[in-house]
Structure 1
């Protein structure tokens, strides 16, 4: 009898799940686990809890949905509280597990946790499955990752590399070990009251937008059922409403939605409706997501140094003005609108993310790492690879040789909010 623990991390689904499939190859008993690490609720060096209110709600709903899926397949989710390096070795010994299987996440903290579990004498099998393109498919070694995204994209496209077909979900799961029976009452992560804000571009308090695989798959189907994909390139820089971009990112960040499942749906759409600028740009943006993950696999902890991959000196940091930036009271109306939107809803358009980050880095000035930490705390779709990669990119400390990027709020407002509608929605008087 072989007992295997599957440790869910940022892969909270049962469809297209190579990690779960790897655990099932020889498991006669399976214990699916999520670790609620209390450090996610403790203030970091900048004073923020990494997992803020919006993320707490979305993750709690995601895990409830995952538990329902696992129960449908004959098992259920175990939620344990503690640090992974402490609770998982103890759990493995208690249930006699031969190994732990989990997602391979190429970020320093996540890698450290796996190393610590192995140091405790537990076998851990990690499976890379968060990207469209699997590492063996790349037309170069990860160590030779191109230094800029454009070269990466061109190399992928010239080689004709396409994602593998998504895997079907399991028909059933082995039972849990006798020491850990399925609880009658479904496990539940602490869930604050969600933000009910009618101005939100991702109203996660509503059932259609809540966390979890089922809502993700329904949204994916709905997205390709109308004209949003062909118009994506033209509308992706919108600021308000639920239709201006794909809105896949929160579900991709928790792993409730597989990028390969997204790509398969995109290809089905193109087969029926034809290739368009919008459909190509969706592929383009998914490749950006891949690039940031491979960038982490290539450079690891170097991406978390104050200088990043470059040689710029440490940034200046005005703590008072940084606090004003966080609170949406910098005095720059367009910036403040974005920061109020972020704090109230846990979501922000890509255009506004770049603009408010640029203002902090180049105008406040503030430490880019503090901005990245605030985004981590607030964004429902926080993803460590994309968040770190984008902040480095804007700070001129990443791979791109063109240096810093400063966005002028006045010009950005003239182009993307010419009638001031977004600023009025998020004015201090709203």
Structure 2
């Protein structure tokens, strides 16, 4: 009789779960799925919490939905709150378990979590599963990626590289050990479990259902669950919105101007391979065009940022990134005004108010406000990336870091960053001022 712990990280789903499948094949007779909620007090080097209210509420809803699905399969989800380096080894000791399986996340914070578990004596197996393309299928491997995305995309398309088909949902799971409740009764685990239980009802603020929000995650159709993710994908395809995606993707507000897959992709409630499999089926039935191709294009960008992490690792998180520019300076007063939407630049302030109110922001506006912090306020790009991490319901370490490096000119792209003129952006994307009026800056 042996027990394997399966740690859900940014893969809060049952469909297309190679890591969970690996745990089921581990030879264990019992399975204990676990989620670790981050400590409330965890903060960034910039003095604000790593988890803002919107991000925490969205992820909490995803976890609760996952717990319900696991309970229906007879394998309850253990929820703990606290440092993973403390609570997961404590859980293993109480269970008499030595093996833990989880997805691989190639970002420094997440890699440090794994190192701490191994240092505590756990046998940890990580499984790469968040990308569309299998890293082993890359023509160059991950050590020799092209320095620009276009060459990456063209290389994959010339070779005809396609993603694997998604795995089906499991119909059964290994049962928990009979002594699970006794194991969870130890003082340390009981405290961590009680703290997690206090999060059972997501603390939705008014922004979660704000009528101005482009992703009102407090409404059932946009909640964090795998069910909502799959239903959203289905209705998006049924309405044939992929065909218009390229034409509308630079919109600033509204539910349908972009796919809105990103929040569920970020938590892992939706698999990129599931999206692609259903998109290909859509194209077979309704035809492909520039719009549906552009969804593939965007998913490849998402992959590219993941593979850059496999190639460069912590180097991407240095002040100078991959480049030779001097380290950025931090402008505390300008940064505070930027976070609060008080810079005096109407489109920037409108965007930052939307972000803090709703936890969401269009891609066009993300690039514009990032540019303003870096190039106009002479701020530290790392502080901006940390603010996005705290605020966004679709925070993803790979895409967040990759996009900030891109705008700052500290990534692989040779063109030296991107500077967006707010007035030009307003003329092109908010010519009538409706977005600025919506957020009280016109």
TM bin (shorter chain):
over 0.9
Q: Which runs of 5+ in 1 are unaligned?
A: none
**Distance in 2 separating the partners of 1:81 and 1:390:** 30
Q: Within 5 Å, give how 1:14-413 maps onto structure 2.
A: 14-25=14-25, 26-38=27-39, 41-181=41-181, 187=197, 189=199, 191-194=202-205, 195=207, 196-413=209-426
Q: Could you list the per-position Cα deviations for residues 259-284 of structure 1 after superposition, in whole angstroms to 9, with x for gaps in the alignment?
A: 00000110011001111101000000
TM superposition shift of 1:181: 4.2
Q: Which runs of 5+ in 2 are unaligned?
A: 185-193
**Distance in 2 separating the partners of 1:188 and 1:33:** 16
**Distance in 1 separating the partners of 2:77 and 2:173:** 12
TM superposition shift of 1:92: 1.2
TM-score by length of 1: 0.97
> What is the DSSP-based 3-state SS (H/G/I as helix, E as strand, rest coil) of the residue aligned with 1:229?
helix
TM superposition shift of 1:69: 1.0
**Distance in 2 separating the partners of 1:2 and 1:147:** 46
**Distance in 1 separating the partners of 2:219 and 2:17:** 27
TM superposition shift of 1:47: 1.4
Q: Could you list the per-position Cα deviations for residues 164-218 of structure 1 after superposition, in whole angstroms to 9, with x for gaps in the alignment?
A: 11001111111111222499x9956363233231100000110000101011000
Which deviates more, 93-102 or 403-412? 93-102
Q: Could you list the per-position Cα deviations for residues 386-418 of structure 1 after superposition, in whole angstroms to 9, with x for gaps in the alignment?
A: 101100000000000111210001111111111
> What is the DSSP-based 3-state SS (H/G/I as helix, E as strand, rest coil) of the residue aligned with 1:45?
coil
TM superposition shift of 1:27: 2.8
**Distance in 1 separating the partners of 2:160 and 2:204:** 47
**Distance in 2 separating the partners of 1:403 and 1:179:** 58
Which deviates more, 411-420 or 92-101? 92-101
Q: Could you list the per-position Cα deviations for residues 14-62 of structure 1 after superposition, in whole angstroms to 9, with x for gaps in the alignment?
A: 0000000000012311000011221x64332111111100011101100
Question: Is residue 78–residue 187 contact of structure 1 (8 Å, CA) maintained in 2?
Answer: no
> What is the DSSP-based 3-state SS (H/G/I as helix, E as strand, rest coil) of the residue aligned with 1:405?
coil
Question: Is residue 2–residue 98 contact of structure 1 (8 Å, CA) maintained in 2?
Answer: no
Q: Which runs of 4+ in 1 moved over 3 A?
A: 185-188
**Distance in 2 separating the partners of 1:124 and 1:74:** 24
Question: Is residue 54–residue 204 contact of structure 2 (8 Å, CA) maintained in 1?
Answer: no
> What is the DSSP-based 3-state SS (H/G/I as helix, E as strand, rest coil) of the residue aligned with 2:160?
coil
**Number of positions where the alignment pairs a residue of Structure 1 with one of Structure 2:** 427
Aligned residues: CA RMSD = 1.6
> What is the DSSP-based 3-state SS (H/G/I as helix, E as strand, rest coil) of the residue aligned with 2:339?
helix
